Each structure stands twice: as structure tokens, then as C-alpha cells.
Amino acid sequence: MAHTIYTRTGDHGETSLVGGQRIPKTHPRLEAYGTIDELNSAIGLLATYLTEEADRAFVIEIQNRLFSVASMLATDTSDGRHYKHVITPADVEQMEQAIDQAGEGLPGWRGFILPGGGRGAAVAHLCRTICRRAERRIYTLADEVPVEPTLLAYINRLSDFLFVLAQKMNHNEGISENIWRKRSTE
């Protein structure tokens, strides 16, 4: 007998958290882990554009971390259940090192960069903006339930990494960044 993926339990606008609690699909918890899932999918697309194996391996490692983050955010803790710390200070430090490595050899500040350039860099910028939204959704959830500070720091650094990765991708392809030019008010 074939396994079916549909359960029909979400047909009325609710879903279950890990632990069984039912919540509306508009709940801040679902918004947080759903946006992490969206980010993870977009990063999967980004990985297809990466030409350096080290970058691809690091991005896949990020995807694994994000899957754990989504699982943690989907866990009902109202009954005293605790989740393991899925993001550690070492993960945040590793992300900072990756930002520094990706930024090596890039030109310094020349102005605000418009998202785009090569296709891969454009996808990295899209991932960055989804990451920023995920961060906002997690902060909204943090108004209701405790969220580990290391998780918030990691998501913040991840958006920085994606920004620098976009610059690196354009640089490696010889594509100049589009710098924002303020419209003249004359």
C-alpha cells in the first residue's frame, strides 16, 4: 500500500506542533518555523549556483542547522518540554569566520549595493531577505516564548553571510555590483 502524505488534519486552518498541541496556521510560532523552512528551500536553490565545493558544503551545513532550528521552533514547550540547544556559540563563531573568509579580497565600501548581479548572487540576496524576515518572525515569537540568544545571533549572522556571499559570487564572476544612486531632487 502506498504511503499518503496528506492527513486532512490541516484543512480547517490548524496544524500540530511537535508534542501534539494544535495551533492556527497564522500563529507566530508557525510563521517563525515556516519562514525558516522557506529560507532553507531558497538556500537549497542557492547551493545549485555555488561553484566552490567549500561554499557548497558550508551552505548544506547551514541547511542542516536550519532544519534543526525549524524543528525546535515547532516544538510545544508549554508543558515544560525543553529542546536541545540546536545553535551553539561555536556555530555563531563559525558563521563569523565564514563571513570573514567570504569577504577576503572584496572591494571595500563603495555605497549601498542593489540586490542582483549574476543569477547566483541574486538568489543569495533573495535568501538574505528571507533570512531577515525569518529573524523578524522569530523575534515576534520571542515575545511569547523563550528563544535562545544564540539562535537569534546565528540568524542575524546568516543574513550577513548571505550578503557577503552574493558579493563574492559577483566578484568571482567579474560582475560589477550595482550601487544605489540617490535620485536628484533638483
Is residue 24 over pLDDT 60? no
- pLDDT band, very low/low/confident/very high, at 53 (cuts 50, 70, 90): very high
What is the predicted pLDDT for the residue at 6?
A: 59
Check residues 172 and 30 and name the one with the higher pLDDT: 172
What is the predicted pLDDT for the residue at 83?
A: 61
Look over the chain and give the mean of its residue pLDDT values, rounded to a whole number. 86
CB 19 within 8 Å of CB 80: no
Q: Which fold has domain 22-74+84-104+112-173?
A: Hypothetical Protein Ta1238; Chain: A; (1.20.1200)
- pLDDT band, very low/low/confident/very high, at 16 (cuts 50, 70, 90): low
d(CA 148, CA 55) in angstroms, rounded, equals 27
What is the predicted pLDDT for the residue at 94?
A: 97
